[in-house]
Amino acid sequence: MSPAAPTGDQPGNEPEGAPAPVPPRPPAPASGVLQHLLPSDPSVIAGYRLLGRLGAGGMGVVYLGRTDNGELAAVKVTHADQADQPDFRARFRREVEAARRVVSPWAVPVTGADPDAPEPWMATAFVPGPSLGEAVAAHGPLPERSVRVLGAAVARALAAVHAAGLVHRDVKPGNVLLAVDGPRLIDFGIARTTGETALTATDMVVGTPGFLAPEQAEARTDAIGPPADVFALGCLLAYAATGRPPFGTGAVDALMYRTVHDEPDLGGVPAGLLDLLRACLAKDPAARPAAERVAAGLVEDAPGGAADWLPAPVVRTIAERSARMLALPEIDATTAGLAPAAAAPNRRRFLTLAAGGAVLVAGAGAAAWAAFGGDEKSKPPPPPRARKWTIGVQADLSGPAKDIGRAQERGVRLAVERLNARKDKPFTLDVKVVDDGGDRSRALAAARTLTGDRDVLGIVGPTSDYTAFTALPAYDEARLPVLTVSAGLNLLINPDAPQGVSIVRACPMHPFGAMALAYYVQAKTRSRRPGLLQERTDDTYSWQYVVGANFGFKQGGIVPTPRVIPGGAKQLERVLGEMVEAGMDAYLHAGLAPSAIRAAKTLDALGFRGMRITGQHVFGTEFLTGAGKAAEGWIVGAPVVDPTTRKEAAELIAAHRTAYGTVPAFYTGEAYDVTNLLVQYVEQAAKGGRRPDRTTLAPQIRKAKYAGAMGGYTFDDDGNLNGVGTFMYAVENGRYKPLEFAPSGPPKAGGS
């Protein structure tokens, strides 16, 4: 039995006194990764044949549907039990009516709906591009011209909303989709007629914190009108220009307060946009310009006939998704709808491919077609060139885990050099490295750089938990195998959802690493009152360690004494003193290196001599140098083996000395091993001179039984490492002395 690990935010943690949030509603029509239908999903809704899932939420699912004439649509379906709730059908009917009343080339149109069906549904035209939020997260802020074109189009869409007597009330990056011919405003789920209050409870905040007006933040229902949408548009454009919301991020109540009382942070906004954005973000609704005036103040030109209003990386993302829509399985070839669609303002040089609902730039179409796939008979043949395939590395080379990232990069390079040096090599390999700096805001863009290269056959990395979590959807979307030796976050793989289908994790999940520490305490001491401290700077990691350790101690019949301190290790010294005074006889630290350094010094000063043990995110030179003599005797568990203790690593050590003049650092050997494992399957897939299909590699690697320089590797069906995977070290004379693998369970009764 494995410990129950957290899977996300839990209810009941809302700030006291915070305004009531809007109840959840079905997800908006999306343009993201297409997921397979579940056995319980219908195959047809009305006249739409369902091809896959675009998104899902607590109240419904959005499917990708296709009509008989080949047109694609986003079909939003609500659950039957939701339809039985009071006022639900009235709300859903209102959403359909609101969306139908808005007539604008920059708003996604409704193509069908039935609010009275047992499971109410609505279909809108499908836009294959990413949302503004996805694009900024992946590729960074937009240039000024892009922001102007974006703002002018969305302002015109809002003008149409307001002309229809409506207020959108949820203008945010996720509700603006990017297409090559301009953006599209979506989701009228909480739009209402100006002055309407019957279906909105008093004191209910409607909208998305960070992208709502002060009158929305204060739930002043009577004051919410078209100016609220203009304020949200100002927030949206500031985000597009800078990559961050103008009132910051964080707790909902703090966001609400800053929206009402603080001035927006417009640092980094181009000077030519500042005056207009300040006007949009006025606290007084009467001081904000109308949407038409905003559009007039932004227009330099409309989106051109090419996708030149967007940066090239965003265009590539749109082209990639468009090509995938054209290649969807089981879409019958059609001739209907091949005539050009109704033209939006100033659209030029576009070819509308109605069979896939995709828009490709004529000028860049050949390049996009060749890069992302299309009809083999119609695309131009690529020029001949020498074949070289590539192993990708996504690593932190300049951030907090740069030592680990650099060690892993070296391991990959040495494994690739090993193949390239073979006389019987079937091909040569390159290494392509992308540095995400350990910054999750850069992680998705790093992944897109690698997935966009068709010659990249697999990835080693990412280095860190949260960069892996952010990047993984891109790798899942491309079905590109990802082998990580250091990302132990349990949320990377969800067996109950199509998440983590590409990852192969050659390290234990954090809860299992913590279980190993608890087992080690029991195996090596007679502790009956172990102390367990959770330090919440990295709340997810420390909580997973607490869950795993509690489970491990419980199996041995021991109930630890748990304490929790806030992020930044506030109150650490006082709490440790209380734990020692209460008779703690062993100490397990669930936190990061800075707090572990302070804990080591405090326990040393208190004269505590029981076992002091901690885990993966403390293992490293920071703890040794920071704690100094106080670190002596600490036990640290980590998912790595000292290569100098392995005779099987002799070849690796010799190669590393030749290339870098030293013995390999920790994590180099594990990266070397998983690269050799990946190369083995690439070589099998390339037999007979075939081009390896990278989308088939991850399932095969998960079935591997591989003996590497650092030991043996096998994985379960979900790609997790089998076995303990945690090695124990004692700090001795300022260095980590290898001990042994952690035990796989608590000692038997009567053991020491």
Question: Does residue 270 belong to any structural domain of this protein?
Answer: yes
Is the pLDDT higher at 588 or at 19?
A: 588
Instruction: Reply yes or no on whether 229 is catalytic.
Output: no
Which range, 5-19, 41-55, 560-574, has the best average confidence (pLDDT)? 560-574
d(CA 21, CA 13): 13
Please check whether residues 618 and 653 belong to one and the same domain.
Answer: no
pLDDT score of 128:
84
Please tell me which of 19-23, 677-681, 745-749 the model is most confident about, judged by mean pLDDT: 677-681
CB 392 within 8 A of CB 459: yes
Domain end: 298, 331, 364, which one?
298
Residue 340 binned pLDDT confidence (cut-offs 50, 70, 90):
very low
| Residue 525 pLDDT > 90 | yes
What is each CA distance from 713 to 258, 326, 720, in whole angstroms? 51, 39, 10
For residues 82 and 88, is the Cβ–Cβ distance under 8 A?
A: yes
Indicate if the pLDDT at residue 383 is higher than 80: no
* 119, 190, 380, 386 from 77: Cα distances, Å: 6, 16, 41, 49
For residue 377, pLDDT over 60 is answered with: no
Read off the amino acid at residue 211.
Answer: F
**Residue 131 DSSP symbol:** B
Helix axes 362-372, 312-326, angle to 10 degrees: 70
Please check whether residues 126 and 147 belong to one and the same domain.
yes
Q: 145 phi and psi, to 5 degrees?
A: -60, -40
> What is the tens place of the pLDDT at every residue in 201-226?
334 445 688 898 999 888 887 888 99
pLDDT, residue 646, reads 94
Same domain, 673 and 629: no
CATH number at 631 reads 3.40.50.2300
Whether the upstream peptide bond of residue 462 has omega within 30° of 0, thus cis, is yes
Model confidence at 300: pLDDT above 80: no
Contacts 24+ apart (CB under 8 A), 578-585: 579/531, 579/533, 580/606, 580/608, 582/529, 583/529, 584/529, 584/530, 584/531, 584/608, 584/610, 585/525, 585/527, 585/528, 585/529, 585/530, 585/610
Quick one: what percent of the chain has pLDDT higher than 90? 55
> Which residues are registered as beta bridge partners of 456?
390
Examine residue 439 and state whether it is found in any structural domain, yes or no.
yes
Query: Is residue 747 scored above 80 in pLDDT?
Result: no
Residues 103 and 144 in one domain: yes
Say if strands 561-565 and 48-57 run parallel, antiparallel, or are unpaired.
unpaired
> pLDDT of 438-464, one tens digit each?
999 999 999 999 998 989 999 999 999
327 neighbors 321 (Cβ within 8 angstroms) = no
Q: How far apart are CA 326 and CA 647, in angstroms?
A: 52
Q: How do 44-45 and 48-57 pair as beta strands?
A: antiparallel
Strand ranges (E), 43-125: 44-45, 48-57, 60-66, 72-78, 110-114, 121-125
Residues 674 and 695 grouped into a single domain: yes
Does residue 534 share a domain with residue 401? no
Residue 697: pLDDT band with limits 50, 70, 90? very high
Whole-number percent of the chain with pLDDT over 70 = 80
| Residue 57, strand partner residues | 60
Q: Examine residue 469 and state whether it is found in any structural domain, yes or no.
A: yes
Residue 339 pLDDT exceeds 80: no
Residue 57 is classified by DSSP as: E
- Overall average pLDDT of the 191-195 stretch: 47
Q: Say if 312 falls within a structural domain.
A: no
Q: Determine the pLDDT at residue 200.
A: 38
Please tell me whether residue 647 adopts helix, strand or coil conformation.
helix
pLDDT for 213 equals 93
Domain with residue 235: its CATH number is 1.10.510.10
Residue 450 is assigned to a structural domain of this protein: yes
For the ranges 564-568, 686-690, 702-706, 744-748, which has the lowest average pLDDT?
A: 744-748
In a domain, 357, yes or no: no
User: Same domain for 191 and 146?
Assistant: yes
pLDDT at 351 over 70: no
Provide the pLDDT for residue 752. Answer: 43
Q: Is the pLDDT of residue 539 over 70?
A: yes
Structural domain containing residue 212: 20-298
Tokens 């080339």 locate to 105
Round the average pLDDT of the chain to a whole number and report it.
82
Q: State the pTM of this model.
A: 0.55
Residue type at 615 in one-letter notation: G
Radius of gyration of the chain (CA): 28
Which of 170, 181, 308, 604 is an active site residue? 170
**Which one of 283, 298, 313 terminates a domain?**
298
For residues 274 and 393, membership in a common domain is answered with no
In this structure, are 283 and 404 located in the same domain?
A: no
Residues 621 and 655 in one domain: no
> Is residue 51 in a domain?
yes
Confidence of residue 689 (pLDDT cuts 50, 70, 90): confident
Nearest to 637 by CA among 517, 487, 505: 517
Within this chain, do residues 147 and 199 fall inside the same structural domain, yes or no? yes
- Cβ pair 724, 742 in contact under 8 A: yes
- Report the C-alpha gap between 628 and 613 in whole angstroms: 16
Is pLDDT above 80 for 365?
A: no
Strand 482-484 and strand 503-505: pairing?
parallel
Going from the C-alpha of 531 to that of each of 318, 553, 570, 743, 748, the distances in angstroms are 53, 11, 18, 20, 22
Res. 494 pLDDT band, cuts 50 70 90: low
Please count the structural domains in the chain: 3
Sign (positive or negative) of CA dihedral 128, 133, 139, 142: positive
Give, for 711, the enclosing helix (H) or strand (E): strand 711-714
Q: Quote the pLDDT of residue 557.
A: 93
* pLDDT single digits (tens) 48-107: 899 888 877 656 788 899 887 778 888 988 876 666 666 777 778 877 887 788 888 899
212 and 102 in a common domain: yes
User: Cβ(727)–Cβ(641) under 8 Å?
Assistant: yes
Q: Is residue 436 part of a domain?
A: yes
Give the pair of three-digit tokens for residue 163.
Answer: 């002309």
- d(CA 423, CA 420) in angstroms, rounded, equals 8
Which of these ranges, 3-12, 33-42, 613-622, has the smallest mean pLDDT? 3-12
Of the pLDDT bands very low, low, confident and very high (cuts 50, 70, 90), residue 629 is very high
More confident residue, 221 or 699: 699
What's the Cα-to-Cα distance from 680 to each of 293, 400, 483, 686, rounded to whole Å?
62, 32, 13, 10
